[in-house]
Structure 1
Amino acid sequence: MLNRILVALILVPLTVYVYLYGDKSFLAFTVLLIGIGIYEIYQMMESKGIVVNKVVGIIIGGAIPLALYSSVLSNGNMLKKLIKNNIGYNVDMSKGTMVLILGIFILMFIRIYQNKVEGSSDYVAYTMLGVLYVGFLFAHIVPIKYMLNGSKWLMTIQILVWISDTFAYLVGVKFGRKLFSRGLCEISPKKSIEGSLGSIVFTVITMLLIKGFLFKDLNISGIHLIIVPILIAVVGQIGDLAESVFKREFGVKDSGKILGGHGGILDRYDSLIWVFPLMYYYLKFFL
C-alpha cells in the first residue's frame, strides 16, 4: 500500500505538470511511456515464445511522437503565437503513418538480410502490433496537446479516466452483482455491470464540474458535455478489458513491475491508449 501511495504522489504531480506546462518535458514523458509500454507488451509476448525485435519496435514506437512533434518544431514562432492567442495548431498525423511504414520496411529488410523465412510473418506482425497498439495509439496525445485548449483537454481527459476507473471499482465493490447477477465480461470476472454504470454516471458529473469550476473556457458545451464523458468512460473500460485480453492470452497478472503495486505502465495507461485516439478525432471533427 505504501508503495502505491508513493508512486501516486510522484506520478500524479508529474502528469499534471507535463500536461499543463510541459513542452520538451511533455515530449520526453510521452516517448518514455511509449518505450516502456512497448517493452512490456514484448515481454508478455516473449513469455509465450513469440519472437519480436524489441530494439527496432521500441525505437520505431518512440519515433512516432517525435515525428508528430517535428511539425510543431517546424512552426515554432507561429505555434507560440497560436497558443498565446488560444487558437491551437493542427499536428500532421500523416507523419506517424510514415513511421509505421518505415517500421515494416526495416523489419522486412532485417529478415531478408538474415536470409530467414520461417516465422517471418509472426516476427513482423507481433513486433508491429506492439508499435501500433502502444506507440501509434498513445501518440495521439501529441496532437491533442497542441489543439485549442489542448493542455486543458489533456488534463480533463486524464481526470475523467481517473474518475471512471476509480468509481468503476468503488461502485462495483459496493453494489456489484446486486442488481445484475452476471458480471460485465468473462474476460475480467471481477468487473460488474453496476460498476460500469457507476463509472459512467460519475464521469458525467465530473465533466460538468470541470466545465463549471476548473476549466470554464474549455471549448465544449451543450450535449457534448454529456457525450464526451460517456464516450471516455465506455471506451476507457474497453481499453482496460483489451489489456486484460492480452494478459490472459500471454498468461501474466500484470504487464510489468516498474510501478510496484500499480503494476506496469500498460496497467496504468491501458484506458488512455484507446481514449486518446477517440478524443483526438472527436475534438477535431465535432468541437
Structure 2
Amino acid sequence: MRTRVITAVVALIVFIPVIVAGGIFIEVLTSLMAAVGVYELFKMRNLDIRSAEGALAILGSVFLVFPVKKYLTFLPTDANWVLFFLVVLGFLAMVVISKNEYTFEEAGFPILTSLYVGCGFQYLVQARGKSLLALLFALFIVWATDIGAYMIGRQYGSRKLAPSISPNKTIEGSLGGVVCAVVVALIFLLIYPAKEVFDKSLPIMLLFTAIFSMFGQFGDLVESAIKRFYGVKDSGNILPGHGGILDRFDSLLFVFPVMHLFGLF
C-alpha cells in the first residue's frame, strides 16, 4: 500500500502540471506513454521492442498521438492517419522483403497494437486541446467509475460480470460504477455548466456519462482479456504498485475516442 501511495503522489506531481500546461508538454508526455504502452504489449507477447517491427509499432503509435499538423502546417489535416498508414505499408514491405518469413498475420499484432494504443492517446491530446475541463471531466468519470464499481461490488456484488476474464468484477459493481460516474458528472457540470464546457444540455451529458462509464469498463475488460491471454498479472511495472501504463489508462483508451465520436471535442 505504501508503494502504491508513493507512486500515486509522484505521478500526480508530474502529471498535474503537464495537463494544466497542455500544449507541447502533454503532447510529448502522451506520445511517450503511447510508446511505453506499445512496449508493454510487445513484452506480453515476448517480442523484442528493439526489432524493426518494434520500432515501426512505436513510430505508428506516436504518429497517431503527436499532432504533427500543428507544427508542420504544410501537411494535410489528416496527416496523423496518413503517416500511420505509411507505417502499415512499412509492415507490408517487411512481408515482401523477408519473402514471407515475416508473415501478414505476424504484421497484424504490431499494427493493431499501434492502433489500439495510439488512437486512445490521440484523443486524450485532443480533449486537452479542447480545454482542461474537458480532460478533467473524462478523468473524473473514469476514476468515479472505478471507485464506485470497487466499493459497490465489494459490498453488494454477487453476480459475476465476466468471470472468465475478470473473476472479481460483478454486475452490481458495474452498475454502481455507472451511478457513481453520473453523480460525479452531475456535481462537475453544476459547477462548470455543460453548455459552457461542451455545448450540450445537462440531461444529454448525464446520459453520455452513463455511456462513457460503460465503455470505460469495457476497456478495462479488454485489457484484462489481453493479460489473461498472455498469462500476466500486470501490463508492466513502470508504476510500482499500480502496474503499467495500460493498467492505468485502459479505460481512458476507450472513453476518449467515444467522447470525440459524440462531438465533445
The change in CA–CA distance for 1:71 and 1:280 in structure 2 (over 3 A counts) is: same
Find out whether 1:99 has 2:76 as its counterpart: no
- The answer to whether 1:116 aligns with 2:99 is yes
1:233 corresponds to which residue? 213
Q: Who is 1:218 aligned against? A: 197
Q: Cα–Cα, structure 1 residues 35 and 215, in superposed 2: closer, same or farther, change >3 Å? A: farther
Deviations 1:164-206 (A, max 9, x none): 11111111111111xxxx3011211100111111101111010
Q: Which aligned runs of 4 or more in structure 1 are off by greater than 6 angstroms?
A: none
Query: Structure 2 regions of 5+ residues with no counterpart?
Result: none
1:13 positional shift: 4.1
Is 2:120–2:254's contact at 8 Å kept on the other side of the alignment? yes
SS of residue matched to 2:209: helix
Equivalent position of 1:62 in the other structure: 62
Aligned residue for 1:283, secondary structure, equals coil
Q: Is the contact made by 2:4 and 2:241 (CA closer than 8 Å) also made in structure 1? A: yes
Pairing partner for 1:206 from 184, 189, 193: 184
Contact 1:167 1:198 in 2 (8 A): yes
Counterpart Cα distance in 1 of 2:99 and 2:242? 40
For 1:142, the equivalent position in structure 2 comes to: 125
In structure 1, distance between residues paired with 2:92 and 2:71: 31
**Structure 1 equivalent of residue 169 of structure 2:** 191
Shift of 1:11: 1.9
For residues 103-150 of structure 1, the C-alpha deviation after alignment (integer angstroms, 9 at most, x for no partner) is 11111223333x331351122101101101111232122222223xx2
User: Which residue of 138, 151, 157 maps to 2:132?
Assistant: 151
Show CA shifts across 1:9-59 (max 9, x none).
122343333223221111111101100001001111227xxx982121112
Distance 1:95 1:11 in 2: 31
Per the normalisation by structure 2, the TM-score is: 0.89
Q: Is the 8 A contact 1:35 1:58 kept in 2?
A: yes
Contact 1:16 1:155 in 2 (8 A): no
Query: Which one of the candidate residues 68, 71, 74 is aligned to 1:73?
Result: 71
Contact 2:22 2:128 in 1 (8 A): no
Cα separation, 2, equivalents of 1:12 and 1:204: 24
Is the 1:254–1:263 Cα contact (8 Å) retained in structure 2? yes
Provide the rounded CA distance (Å) in 2 between the counterparts of 1:130 and 1:200: 28
Letter in 2 for 1:116: K
The CA RMSD over aligned residues, in Å, is 2.1
1:19-58 matches, within 5 Å, as 19-46=19-46, 53-58=53-58
Equivalent-residue separation in structure 1 for 2:174 and 2:128 (angstroms): 28
Letter in 1 for 2:33: L
- Give the percent of matched residue pairs that are identical in Structure 1 and Structure 2: 30
How many residue pairs get aligned? The number is 257
TM-score when normalising by structure 1: 0.83
Among residues 150, 153, 166, which one is paired with 1:169 in the alignment?
150
2:115: which partner in 1?
132
